[in-house]
Structure 1
Amino acid sequence: MHKQAQAFLSIVSFISFSTLAQETVTDTVKPATNTQLEEVVVTGQIEPQSIKKSVFNVRVISAEDIKRQAGNNLADVLNQYLNITVRPNNESGRSTVSMFGLDSNYLKVLVDNVPLVSDTGLGNNVDLTQINLDDVQQIEIIEGAMGVTHGANAVSGIINIITKKNTKNKWELSATVQEETIGDEYAPFGDKGRHIQALRAAHTINDNWYASVGGNRNDFKGYIDERGGRDYTAYDPANPDPEHDRGYSWLPKEQYFTNALVRYQKENFRIFYKFDYFDEHLDYYDPVVTDEFVTGVGTYRVSNDRRYDTNKFYHHLNAVGKVLGRNYNVSVSHQRQKRDVETFKYYIQTGEEANNKSETYQDTEVLYSTGNISNILNNKKIDVQVGYEAVNTNGYTSSLGGVFNNPDQQGVNLKKRLENYDLFSAAEIAVTERFSIRPGVRYSFQSRFEDQWAASLGLRQLYANGHEVRASYGRSYRTPTYDELYTYMVDANHDIRGNEDLKPETANSFELSGKKTTFYESGLQLVNTAAASYITIDDRIEQVIVGFNPNLQYKFINIDKYQMWNFSTTHQLNYKNWQAKAGLIVVGISRDLSNGVVKADDKFLYNVQFNTNLAFAVPKWNTIFTLYYKLNGKTQQYVENGSLSTPEYILQDIEGFSLMDASVRKTFFEKKFDVTFGARNIFDVVNIRSSVASNAGAHSAGSTSLLMGYGRSYFLKLTYNLNI
């Protein structure tokens, strides 16, 4: 183990045992009645247990939180949470998430503890807009390295979506219609705005059997903004104006979600099968318009457009039970995401198409299984778990993608297989009734890279007066992505290459946190937390300049050392019909970039985030009022400026911005009919100023604006619930 890890654990152990011996002061309290304290979490646990007993800090987004935000997909709800940044891409229609300033390649997204397939792998770089929330029970978030329990690429944290698997009633039927404006663009059930319809049915067949089925359609008509739309013809090649080009600022897309679940349960045994199918149709309208002369007819305005169709299958079979007094939990999953593209010539005046050509653009298929046996020692003081994970990923991209064309394989499609087979073990040791320790280790047999390992140690101390102290250390790793390994874009203007010799990054994560929960006789409940964490990443992969002739030559190499520390504090107040939450986080990030050609300053750059939300219930009216606010402070990063004769790193800024959402939710007819009305992005954020060129990523300096949203929008959601 690293020396800093040993020092950290020694200090934490001393603090934990010292504070245990200290005399504590008891607050005036009453028995806990708030259901939040009894929330059961499963992520990272040996057995499902309450948040209070968890060694890890787990944030929970409940089904009620999702309802108040009228969230249809994961991107709708995550923007308001501290240390989470949703990064939308208006050109691809995708939204990904970053944590601790690390992009989506470092964060793992799971459904029922199974990582989701994505364009480039499993669990990482997942498009949040492709995750529907209609059948979600709760969302659990853990920050920091979780490599022992969740394997590769769980460096900055994990997001685990827990779906519903039971119902309180014999039948639960629901039908939903939701209408939203996109900025100031809207036409009822027409060609503007966002139109959502959903149906769900759940049935408790008998004491053992349960089944559910659901479907959702999300029709996003795109955001035109200042552009001209599909049939715009006034494009001037001599004086192109991106602000008024043909097409959309946000591309139109239509999504269909379907899901089904069957569960059987008897005594200690439970088995379920879950199936999801997703279909997305996205239209790309080329901003460039040209003239084409047709003999005997005249001149037509023509553009080269594309359609992308994405299909995703998700199969998950899970069994939980006991054998010889030991608990087992096994999951097997088969997933596939396939994207087809159709290219064609579009004649704007007539609406006709020509030269249509369809082919598979990208295809990822994964066979996945994980399982564990716990309670091996059959001892109430020590719970030992051993488990495995097996991953077989087949990745495919067509030559149409362009960036993977190798000079020796022009026009040849790229297909690669990655496999890993892991063994892991964890233990939860109850040293006393209030103090527990959780060590863990994982070893990964890799087909493409050197074998990897992960380790962790968590400590938890509870006190009689409501104080909780937690500390953790984790070592994890990130394997290179498809792009980093195989990119090849070399022409008269570009020289950008992947690197098949890349090695995985290694990360070390430390966290120390305290929590205090206080109940008063008046009914007031206060929950205050403070946490500090530190992450360091070695051999971080960066795309950097490695040569100058004839063009600037870029390549992915292991050169970057990344350090991050943060301090956060959150506060929650519950009193009668009021609930208020507020949080503040300060993050410092240092990157040591040096490849022998150019070098960046490795000083720490800081960012501040603040959030709050208020909820007020009026039981007499069956109404809840909710307000969400988040401040995202200015961020800075060093950017490689290749426009200079001698390239160098320049400090660039992205301005801060604020987001505010508000909603009113009212139920009618004995809670059978829900109406939710509200507004998103009340401060009307569209573009934020940035000195980082949008088309150059983090590797060229420039000046531009980043499209962060489509302005203030309003929504109305109507849901009919029939519970029998």
Structure 2
Amino acid sequence: MSLNKNYILFYFLFFFSVVGFSQENYTKENDSISIKKLDEVVVTGESKVMSLSKKLFAVQVLDQTDIAKVAGNNLADVLTYSLNITITPDPSTGRSTVNMFGLDGQYVKVLLDGIPMASDNGVGNNIDITQINLEDVERVEIVEGSMGVLYGDNAVAGVINIVTKRGLEGDKAWQIQLAVQEETVGSEYEFFDEGRHIQNFKISNRLNDKVSYSIGASRNDYAGFYNGFRGKDYVNIEDNVVVNDGLRGTEWSPKEQLTAYGNLNLSLGKHMFLYKLQYYDEAVTVYDRNVIGRLDSGTGLVNPTALDELFETDRFVNNLTVSGPINGLTTYNFFFSQQNQKRYYQQYVYNILQQGIESYITDDLSQSSEIWYSKGFVSNIVPKSNFFNLQLGYEFTHQSGFDAIATGEYSNDVVKNTLENYDFFGVADFNLTDKLSIYPGARLTNNSQFGNKLIWSLSSTYNFNETLKLKAVFGSAFRAPNFEELFFYFVDANHNVQGNPNLQPEDGISIFLNLENTFKLSDTGFLKSAIKAYYFDINEKIASVVVSDENDRSLFTFANVDYSKILGFSWENNVKVGNWQVGLGGTYMGESTEISTSEANNNDYLWSFNLQSTLGYTLPSLNTTFSTQLKYTGKTQVILDGIDGLVVGQTDDFTWMDASIKTNITKDLGITLGARNIFNIVTVNASDVPSGAHSSSAVSSRLFGNGRSYFFKLSYNLNFN
């Protein structure tokens, strides 16, 4: 991508600040992102809640230290090494989504400070996690287990909550944070035109003990992954004739992301207010491999052009969180949100020799979604009882909009639709003994499309002693169809792709068990070990199907036709001894998927083994931390196109490894350098599983990585009054 004023400004601000303030403010104070001891209890988006949320769910926390040691810029950078999470990238769109316990992004709810995030086709689900910037993030909470009662439909595998920072730490009134980061993409790098280039800026101010605010901006410029392709200005001309050799463009499409945000924290007595305003802009450019070789009538020379595309996403987020006590230990939490997302689509004629846009074929708004959201609940309703407690709440979602694009082409026949949810939920807390508690819960959801449905759960905890604890979650595997599956509309002379407004929610059962213990190894050393088991049995899964419409045309739509079962076991261990930090975990998981529309089905379990390990060492005398992360991902199921329609296939196993060094030159100035994807993964084979006479046994490959890459990050924090 070309040099621009924003780029120069970010670098100028950064280096000016380093030169002007670094030596002047050098003291022996602790690093601002040093390891902090977090409370064992982490609750997604809730300030004060009853015991149910404090001890029911298994929670993994990624704090600022975890983010910093991998130089994480977006959520995909830091979730890669979570044992039961797989990141699924799409090189054509640039999107990356989460797969958790074998279930894709439709079954994982992603929250920002407890509020579901807007996506291209839903609310909180199937989120592109590369669009979530981490510069303003305090921690990431990964809550495991079916949480539909507390967090609504689609929270089947769990919830990922991004908790943003709340004001300043310490006694300083002002803080300025600047960072620049340069990365190669595989072996490809040029300072402006190849690689990945990131700049971040944030300023925070505490007016007094009750009021603080911050504003910031981030730019992430990913120039694409060429991988042997020649870029947008490549053309092969022989004897005044264009030869289409398929080498134009890039393997992974380039994209540029801009994020701007502002936070306001207000304390009125014991009542807390957090307001967040965020603007996000993303531009993804797709270069056409095919070059059109027209002759210029004036010169008689070939004038090569290509039909390129630009997908631009704009998102505005307004979130307000209010919490505090009602009476004594009884507390309330309220969430309000208005989010607006628009995706613009351009198709244009690009003149390769002149290196400019010749004309526009399409320039339209292709997708629009506006979301109004509110949630509120009262916790610890019976605070004086040692036996019984209760939490009651409501949740409301209103989504309106349209989606008029498919397979990279635009439809002028726009249909706008509305989807609403009115939910009421409650969870009881029965402390049967000092060790045993059970938590029955239910949520009644009223949906404007499919009416009333019940989501239920029965959970329990048993504390054998102060360190050995068992947690169990048994409940609905409830997933509602998203906006795209219900209302997608793209019909013209060549396409007939429509959503199905008659879809019903998926349902079934989910079981999650977590047995954990903490062993003390020394005065400061410990081993935390957890054994987990999980099972999902999902009926009436929503899948793409081909049927005939009223005009006997092939209609590509959605239907409740698939069935899926997932059974898994995992063992996770984390050790801290002295300056060493070690993590080792493994999971053994089987997936069974049946496609009722396919003649050749294979509903046997495909078993795979995943391994995750981390190793870190801190050298206090040099303020330096060395860390490595490794993850082995076994074979997984995937749905592929076969001769007779969809078939259940699999992707091969692969191993991913990163390593980094983070050091603090001064109190304010830090450097992180390292390597990603050390084993140089680019593609992974994917093939169907032979299961009958009609199986095609086709073999293809899926793009997973950009190859071995290297990164360098320079960060600067200035605190003053």
Using the size of structure 1 for normalisation, the TM-score is: 0.87
Describe the shift of the 1:605–1:586 C-alpha distance in structure 2 as closer, same or farther (beyond 3 A): same
Aligned equivalent of 1:91: 92
Question: More deviation in 473-482 or 381-390?
Answer: 473-482
Contact 2:57 2:143 in 1 (8 A): yes
Aligned equivalent of 2:284: 282
Aligned equivalent of 2:442: 441
Aligned equivalent of 2:652: 655
Please state how far the C-alpha of 1:377 moved relative to its aligned partner.
2.1
The yes-or-no answer on 1:556 pairing with 2:558 is yes
| 1:308-344 per-position Cα deviation (integer Å, ceiling 9, x unaligned) | 2211111011111223443111111000111112221
Contact 2:281 2:315 in 1 (8 A): yes
Aligned equivalent of 1:635: 636
Aligned equivalent of 1:14: none
1:398 is matched by which residue type in structure 2?
A: A
Aligned equivalent of 2:376: 371
Describe the shift of the 1:497–1:135 C-alpha distance in structure 2 as closer, same or farther (beyond 3 A): closer
Instruction: Indicate which of 383, 402, 406 corresponds to 1:396.
Output: 402
Distance 2:303 2:126 in 1: 41
For 1:264-413, list aligned pairs within 5 A.
264-298=266-300, 299-325=302-328, 326-356=330-360, 357-381=362-386, 382-398=388-404, 411-413=412-414
Aligned equivalent of 2:256: 254
Please state how far the C-alpha of 1:638 moved relative to its aligned partner.
6.4
| 1:165-210 per-position Cα deviation (integer Å, ceiling 9, x unaligned) | 132232222110111111111112x211111111112222211111
Describe the shift of the 1:714–1:303 C-alpha distance in structure 2 as closer, same or farther (beyond 3 A): same
Describe the shift of the 1:198–1:35 C-alpha distance in structure 2 as closer, same or farther (beyond 3 A): closer
The yes-or-no answer on 1:225 pairing with 2:224 is no
Contact 1:185 1:193 in 2 (8 A): yes
Contact 2:283 2:310 in 1 (8 A): yes
Contact 1:692 1:704 in 2 (8 A): no
Distance 2:52 2:488 in 1: 43
Describe the shift of the 1:428–1:203 C-alpha distance in structure 2 as closer, same or farther (beyond 3 A): farther
Distance 1:629 1:224 in 2: 26
Aligned equivalent of 1:115: 116
Describe the shift of the 1:122–1:637 C-alpha distance in structure 2 as closer, same or farther (beyond 3 A): closer
2:247 is matched by which residue type in structure 1?
A: D
Identity rate of aligned residues, in percent?
37
Describe the shift of the 1:143–1:240 C-alpha distance in structure 2 as closer, same or farther (beyond 3 A): farther
Unpaired runs of 5+ in structure 1? 1-33, 406-410, 694-698
| 1:692-718 per-position Cα deviation (integer Å, ceiling 9, x unaligned) | 59xxxxx98632211101101111111
Distance 2:89 2:74 in 1: 13
Distance 1:655 1:491 in 2: 38
Distance 1:160 1:624 in 2: 27
Contact 1:336 1:364 in 2 (8 A): yes
Please state how far the C-alpha of 1:522 moved relative to its aligned partner.
5.6
Aligned equivalent of 2:421: 420
2:287 is matched by which residue type in structure 1?
A: Y
The yes-or-no answer on 1:706 pairing with 2:707 is no
Aligned equivalent of 1:696: none
Aligned equivalent of 2:23: none
Please state how far the C-alpha of 1:446 moved relative to its aligned partner.
0.8
For 1:656-695, list aligned pairs within 5 A.
656-669=653-666, 671-691=667-687
1:181 is matched by which residue type in structure 2?
A: T
Distance 2:392 2:54 in 1: 21
Using the size of structure 2 for normalisation, the TM-score is: 0.88
Please state how far the C-alpha of 1:650 moved relative to its aligned partner.
5.3
| 1:524-559 per-position Cα deviation (integer Å, ceiling 9, x unaligned) | 311111011111111111224557999977542212
Distance 1:348 1:223 in 2: 20
Instruction: Indicate which of 183, 188, 192 corresponds to 1:185.
Output: 188
Distance 1:280 1:492 in 2: 31
Please state how far the C-alpha of 1:79 moved relative to its aligned partner.
1.1
Contact 1:148 1:476 in 2 (8 A): no
Please state how far the C-alpha of 1:47 moved relative to its aligned partner.
3.4
Distance 1:713 1:51 in 2: 44
1:122 counterpart SS class: coil
2:452 is matched by which residue type in structure 1?
A: D
Distance 2:306 2:500 in 1: 35
Aligned equivalent of 1:68: 69
Distance 2:36 2:355 in 1: 58
Distance 2:699 2:164 in 1: 43
Distance 1:253 1:345 in 2: 19
Describe the shift of the 1:59–1:235 C-alpha distance in structure 2 as closer, same or farther (beyond 3 A): farther
Contact 2:156 2:477 in 1 (8 A): yes
Contact 1:361 1:400 in 2 (8 A): no
Distance 1:175 1:265 in 2: 28
Distance 2:345 2:353 in 1: 24
Distance 1:52 1:150 in 2: 12
Contact 1:438 1:459 in 2 (8 A): yes
1:708 is matched by which residue type in structure 2?
A: F
Distance 1:362 1:700 in 2: 36
Contact 1:608 1:633 in 2 (8 A): yes
Question: More deviation in 79-88 or 609-618?
Answer: 79-88
| 1:667-695 per-position Cα deviation (integer Å, ceiling 9, x unaligned) | 122x21111011000001011112259xx
1:722 is matched by which residue type in structure 2?
A: L
Contact 2:508 2:536 in 1 (8 A): yes
2:568 counterpart SS class: strand
Contact 2:468 2:517 in 1 (8 A): yes
Contact 2:73 2:135 in 1 (8 A): yes
Please state how far the C-alpha of 1:432 moved relative to its aligned partner.
3.6
Contact 1:513 1:531 in 2 (8 A): yes
1:215 counterpart SS class: strand
Please state how far the C-alpha of 1:152 moved relative to its aligned partner.
1.4
Describe the shift of the 1:54–1:714 C-alpha distance in structure 2 as closer, same or farther (beyond 3 A): same
Please state how far the C-alpha of 1:235 moved relative to its aligned partner.
8.0
Please state how far the C-alpha of 1:48 moved relative to its aligned partner.
5.2
Contact 2:415 2:489 in 1 (8 A): no
1:118 counterpart SS class: coil
Aligned equivalent of 2:502: 501
Please state how far the C-alpha of 1:282 moved relative to its aligned partner.
1.9
Distance 2:52 2:507 in 1: 29
Distance 1:448 1:141 in 2: 30
Aligned equivalent of 1:462: 463
Contact 1:514 1:529 in 2 (8 A): yes
Distance 1:563 1:135 in 2: 38
Describe the shift of the 1:85–1:494 C-alpha distance in structure 2 as closer, same or farther (beyond 3 A): same
Please state how far the C-alpha of 1:464 moved relative to its aligned partner.
3.0
Please state how far the C-alpha of 1:395 moved relative to its aligned partner.
2.2
Describe the shift of the 1:553–1:341 C-alpha distance in structure 2 as closer, same or farther (beyond 3 A): closer
Contact 1:605 1:637 in 2 (8 A): no
Kindly tell me the number of residue pairs found equivalent between the two proteins.
Answer: 672
CA RMSD of aligned residues (A): 2.8
Please state how far the C-alpha of 1:53 moved relative to its aligned partner.
4.7
1:333 is matched by which residue type in structure 2?
A: S
Distance 1:626 1:290 in 2: 50
Describe the shift of the 1:120–1:466 C-alpha distance in structure 2 as closer, same or farther (beyond 3 A): same
